[in-house]
């Protein structure tokens, strides 16, 4: 048994597996030797922190999170070094994310000997909740719902008279068990509680799980349960209950019930996915690739129509293969017990660095610095394409279009992906492939209808100029991606710019002296490879240190950027609720530095004089949820409103508990002003 020992200063706390209205559970990422595997986190019973409307479940002073380790048969006796990276959120008036790398040495042998920490681990094992089997616990709806709220009755048999009793629920994306607890009269041998359940989706849960907690004298007892919820009448006494599901590795707890079915039919979600993929073609993220693909069709117009159709199909296969990879990432992240979201790969700084280098190379290719055709000679003006001609180039264009599409959310797409991310693996794949079909559809139609190509300009010398001109938007894409890196690397980010200069120099040497040169091509190729290898080792590994991004505070970059406009505050559900309780409206903008749609919304419809004046007029508080680093609490909030990614803008009326007005993905000043006027009435 391993233990992660967290010790808090006075008045500070960390969080249980269900943090409640705010906070993030502690997470453990293991680095284990061969033959050693880690089980699920075993969470001691937490303390409930009021108020009822913003309840959190916390640990104060200290806690030991226990994790069973298993050593496989056949592992040789000796010392085994166990390492882990522990991440947690510690809060007082403010909350500070922190992490630490820890390690311990296990002695594997034939005898069982207590370690120096055995007593501490035994103490905290005694504080783990017990199985609820034998309590005859049961749950039923007391009556019909009132809007999105419905009263739930919990009852169990108590082994000892209890002075206090409560229920600590597991987390769920489909519903929330609210913090307030009402104890109802019952006989001395049973405990009966009333809890309010708030649903976020179309149907009510059929199961509920968590801890039944009671205080008997000076002793606190807690029991893990998973209970079926009966209809709105008192059920017959149950024989026993099952134990609750354990947390997944890393500290995330699966939802206590299956996600409720989405309120929209599947056929409609598939239509939304197709339309969202289709609209992605005109989003700013993908526009550079669109021009290149159209240029490719013009260049191929003189070829056999069958060849053109084949290239269209290969391009579509490149898109679909990329979306299959994205679907696999989502399925893998969910299987690991974490939350998944659209554009989540942009929270990975290494992915951003690789994409910047790739897009820069594409721009250099368009400028004619080097060619990607294996022959090494420049193509003539009429036949020059944006990338390698033929099937390989078509497939690569599909992959690149998908990679550049992921920072954007188009109309319909957010709703479709929000639905997909709550479904099983097979349906996730179907939804992602449908988006990919929408993205590839215009090019497939063009390739199968060559007659329509007559509406495009005829091939000629203009194509070489157009190809070079298209290098500039591709280079602008690279610059935009480069602007994201300070959030990950701080002042070290400028070393990535130095490496891009080295890459450009190497590409020029390769194109000028290897592809178009006639002498000493082997020596020049060695120089090119030496430049790339040395530049990577010096600029990327040593100076940028791209494997160790900085730990920036959430929202720091976005808040600084907007310092002279709207007075943004970091998003916190507790602060939003308090604003409503004080009788003020609130606007929340969930955004990310890598989301071009978000940035366009901000400049066109949010950070403008008329909206700033309206916000001041109605006394609205403004909160910014920074999704740049893909924080789990914002992912959960997006999922609550059926969105898989940003942008998401919410406008809350000045009434405690009133639901927000959910704005569409693409905003206009009229949409934002209309929502603010409606909220202020």
Alpha-carbon distance of 384 to 666, in angstroms, equals 36
The band of 61, judged by pLDDT with boundaries at 50, 70 and 90, is: very high
Task: State the pLDDT at residue 390.
Answer: 59
Task: State the pLDDT at residue 26.
Answer: 95
Specify burial of residue 516 (Cβ count, 10 A radius: 0-12, 13-18, 19+). middle
Alpha helix (H) ranges present in 264-337? 266-280, 287-300, 305-335
Find, among 404, 436, 438, 450, the residue nearest to 297 by Cα: 450
Alpha-carbon distance of 81 to 103, in angstroms, equals 7
Collapsed DSSP state (helix, strand, coil) of residue 147:
coil
**More confidently predicted of 362 and 168:** 168
Between the two ends of the chain, the Cα-to-Cα distance in Å is 58
Whole-number Cα distances in Å, 626 to 478, 482, 630, 632: 22, 18, 8, 11
**Contacts of residue 399, Cβ cutoff 8 Å, sequence gap at least 6:** 318, 319, 321, 322
Collapsed DSSP state (helix, strand, coil) of residue 277:
helix
Specify burial of residue 105 (Cβ count, 10 A radius: 0-12, 13-18, 19+). exposed
The band of 377, judged by pLDDT with boundaries at 50, 70 and 90, is: very low
Collapsed DSSP state (helix, strand, coil) of residue 479:
helix
Task: State the pLDDT at residue 344.
Answer: 60
515-560 confidence digits (pLDDT tens)? 877 677 888 889 999 999 999 999 898 888 888 777 554 444 455 4
Alpha-carbon distance of 143 to 141, in angstroms, equals 6
**More confidently predicted of 484 and 536:** 536
Residue 255, pLDDT > 90, answer no
CB 239 within 8 A of CB 256: no
**Contacts of residue 106, Cβ cutoff 8 Å, sequence gap at least 6:** 36, 69, 71, 79, 80, 81, 82
Phi first, then psi: give them for residue 33, nearest 5 degrees. -70, 165
The band of 247, judged by pLDDT with boundaries at 50, 70 and 90, is: very low
Alpha-carbon distance of 392 to 411, in angstroms, equals 31
Task: State the pLDDT at residue 566.
Answer: 87
Residue 107, pLDDT > 50, answer yes
Alpha-carbon distance of 469 to 164, in angstroms, equals 73
Task: State the pLDDT at residue 530.
Answer: 92
> Helices H, strands E: what count in the chain?
18, 23
Residue 257, pLDDT > 60, answer no
Task: State the pLDDT at residue 245.
Answer: 36
Alpha-carbon distance of 634 to 630, in angstroms, equals 7
Task: State the pLDDT at residue 249.
Answer: 33
The band of 332, judged by pLDDT with boundaries at 50, 70 and 90, is: confident
DSSP summary character for residue 254 = P
CB 623 within 8 A of CB 562: no
Q: Mean pLDDT throughout 574-603?
A: 87
Tokens describing residue 667: 């905003």
CB 648 within 8 A of CB 662: yes
Task: State the pLDDT at residue 651.
Answer: 95
Task: State the pLDDT at residue 302.
Answer: 54
Residue 47, pLDDT > 70, answer yes
The secondary structure of 365-424 as a DSSP string is HHTTSS--STT-SPPPTTT--SS-SSHHHHHHHHHHHHHHHTT---TTHHHHHHHHTTS-
Angle ∠(459,465,468) on CA atoms, nearest 5: 120
Residue 240, pLDDT > 50, answer no
**Percent above pLDDT 70 for the chain:** 78
Alpha-carbon distance of 261 to 372, in angstroms, equals 49
Residue 408, pLDDT > 80, answer no
Residue 65, pLDDT > 80, answer yes
Length of the chain counted residue by residue: 681
Tokens describing residue 289: 């690739």
Residue with tokens 């299987």: 335
Phi first, then psi: give them for residue 676, nearest 5 degrees. -65, -40
Tokens describing residue 281: 């073609």
DSSP summary character for residue 32 = -
Q: Mean pLDDT throughout 291-314?
A: 65
Q: Are strands 62-67 and 2-7 parallel, antiparallel or unpaired?
A: antiparallel
Name the least confident of 321-325, 600-604, 629-633. 629-633
Q: What is the CA radius of gyration of the chain?
A: 29
**More confidently predicted of 493 and 644:** 493
The band of 412, judged by pLDDT with boundaries at 50, 70 and 90, is: low
| Chain centre distance of CA 419 | 14
Phi first, then psi: give them for residue 20, nearest 5 degrees. 95, -140
Name the least confident of 148-157, 194-203, 442-451. 442-451
Residue 74, pLDDT > 80, answer no
Tokens describing residue 158: 């108590």
Task: State the pLDDT at residue 411.
Answer: 58
Residue 142, CB-side half-sphere exposure with 13 Å CA sphere:
16
Q: What is the pTM (predicted TM-score) of this model?
A: 0.42
394: alpha, beta or left? (left if phi > 0; alpha if psi -120 to 50): alpha
Collapsed DSSP state (helix, strand, coil) of residue 606:
helix
Whole-number Cα distances in Å, 474 to 118, 155, 335, 358, 471: 60, 63, 36, 10, 5
Task: State the pLDDT at residue 50.
Answer: 80
Residue 614, pLDDT > 80, answer yes
Secondary structure element (H or E) that encloses residue 220, with its range: strand 219-230
The band of 293, judged by pLDDT with boundaries at 50, 70 and 90, is: low
Collapsed DSSP state (helix, strand, coil) of residue 570:
strand
List 404's β-bridge partners, or say none.
none
**Percent above pLDDT 90 for the chain:** 26
The band of 100, judged by pLDDT with boundaries at 50, 70 and 90, is: very high
The band of 622, judged by pLDDT with boundaries at 50, 70 and 90, is: very high
Tokens describing residue 393: 């180039």
Residue 562, pLDDT > 60, answer no
Q: What mean pLDDT, rounded, does the chain reach?
A: 79
Task: State the pLDDT at residue 18.
Answer: 93
Residue 248, pLDDT > 70, answer no
Task: State the pLDDT at residue 346.
Answer: 65
CB 246 within 8 A of CB 177: no
Query: Where in 61-189 does DSSP place strands (E)?
Result: 62-67, 69-71, 78-91, 95-108, 130-131, 138-141, 149-157, 164-169, 175-184
DSSP summary character for residue 18 = E
Tokens describing residue 401: 């279009």
Residue 175, pLDDT > 70, answer yes
Sign of CA dihedral 460, 465, 467, 470: negative
Collapsed DSSP state (helix, strand, coil) of residue 510:
helix
The band of 440, judged by pLDDT with boundaries at 50, 70 and 90, is: confident
Tokens describing residue 23: 């906070």
Collapsed DSSP state (helix, strand, coil) of residue 40:
coil
Q: Mean pLDDT throughout 267-273?
A: 82
Task: State the pLDDT at residue 653.
Answer: 93
Task: State the pLDDT at residue 418.
Answer: 60
Which domains are present in the chain? 2-110 (2.60.40.1250), 131-230 (2.60.40.1230), 266-346+380-473 (no CATH), 556-680 (3.40.30.10)
CB 406 within 8 A of CB 329: no
């Amino acid at each position: 048994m391993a233990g992660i020992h967290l010790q808090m200063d006075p008045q500070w706390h960390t969080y249980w597996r269900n943090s409640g209205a705010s906070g993030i559970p502690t997470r453990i990422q293991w680095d284990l030797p061969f033959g050693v595997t880690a089980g699920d986190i075993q969470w001691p019973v937490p303390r409930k922190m009021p108020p009822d409307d913003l309840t959190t479940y916390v640990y104060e002073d200290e806690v030991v999170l226990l994790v069973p380790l298993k050593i496989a048969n056949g592992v040789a006796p000796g010392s085994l070094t166990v390492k882990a990276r522990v991440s947690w959120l510690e809060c007082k008036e403010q909350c500070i994310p922190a992490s630490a790398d820890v390690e311990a040495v296990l002695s594997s042998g034939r005898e069982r000997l207590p370690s120096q920490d055995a007593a501490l681990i035994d103490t905290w094992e005694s504080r783990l909740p017990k199985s609820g089997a034998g309590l005859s616990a049961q749950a039923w709806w007391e009556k019909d719902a009132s809007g999105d709220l419905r009263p739930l009755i919990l009852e169990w048999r108590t082994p000892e008279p209890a002075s206090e009793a409560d229920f600590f629920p597991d987390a769920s994306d489909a519903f929330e068990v609210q913090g307030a607890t009402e104890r109802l009269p019952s006989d001395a041998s049973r405990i009966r509680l009333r809890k309010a359940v708030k649903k976020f989706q179309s149907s009510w849960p059929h199961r509920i799980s968590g801890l039944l907690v009671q205080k008997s004298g000076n002793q606190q007892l807690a029991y893990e349960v998973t209970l079926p919820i009966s209809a709105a009448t008192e059920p017959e006494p149950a024989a026993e209950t099952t134990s609750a599901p354990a947390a997944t590795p890393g500290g995330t707890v699966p939802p206590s019930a299956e996600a409720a079915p989405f309120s929209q039919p599947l056929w409609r979600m598939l239509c939304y996915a197709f339309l969202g993929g289709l609209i992605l073609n005109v989003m700013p993220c993908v526009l550079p690739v669109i021009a290149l693909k159209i240029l490719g069709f013009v260049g191929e117009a003189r070829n056999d129509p069958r060849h053109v159709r084949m290239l269209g199909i290969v391009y579509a296969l490149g898109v679909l293969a990329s979306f299959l990879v994205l679907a696999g990432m989502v399925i893998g992240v969910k299987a690991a017990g974490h939350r998944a979201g659209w554009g989540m790969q942009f929270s990975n700084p290494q992915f951003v660095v690789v994409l910047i280098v790739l897009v820069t190379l594409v721009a250099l290719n368009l400028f004619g610095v080097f060619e990607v055709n294996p022959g090494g000679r420049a193509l003539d003006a009429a036949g020059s394409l944006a990338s390698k001609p033929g099937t390989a180039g078509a497939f690569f264009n599909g992959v690149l279009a998908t990679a550049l599409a992921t920072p954007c959310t188009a109309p319909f797409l957010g709703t479709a992906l929000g639905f997909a991310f709550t479904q099983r693996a097979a349906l996730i794949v179907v939804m992602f492939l449908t988006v990919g079909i929408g993205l590839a559809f215009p090019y497939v139609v063009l390739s199968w209808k060559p007659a329509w190509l007559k509406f495009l300009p005829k091939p000629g010398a203009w194509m070489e100029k157009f190809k070079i001109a298209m290098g500039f938007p591709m280079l602008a894409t690279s610059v935009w991606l480069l602007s994201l890196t300070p959030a990950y690397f701080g002042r070290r980010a400028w070393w990535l710019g130095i490496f891009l200069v080295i890459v450009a120099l190497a590409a020029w040497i390769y194109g000028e002296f290897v592809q178009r040169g006639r002498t000493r091509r082997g020596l020049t190729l060695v120089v090119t490879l030496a430049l790339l290898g040395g530049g990577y080792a010096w600029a990327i590994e040593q100076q940028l240190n791209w494997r160790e991004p900085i730990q920036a505070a959430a929202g720091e970059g976005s808040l600084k950027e907007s310092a002279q406009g709207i007075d943004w505050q970091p998003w916190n559900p507790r602060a939003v609720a308090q604003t409503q309780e004080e009788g003020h409206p609130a606007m929340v903008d969930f955004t990310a530095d890598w989301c071009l749609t978000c940035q366009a919304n901000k400049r066109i419809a949010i950070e403008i004089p008329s909206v700033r004046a309206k916000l001041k007029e109605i006394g609205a508080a403004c909160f910014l949820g920074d999704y740049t680093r893909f924080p789990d609490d914002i992912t959960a909030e997006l999922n609550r409103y059926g969105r898989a990614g940003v942008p998401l803008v919410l406008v809350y009326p000045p009434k405690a508990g009133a639901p927000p007005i959910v704005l569409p993905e693409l905003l206009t000043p009229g949409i934002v002003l209309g929502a603010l006027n409606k909220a202020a009435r």
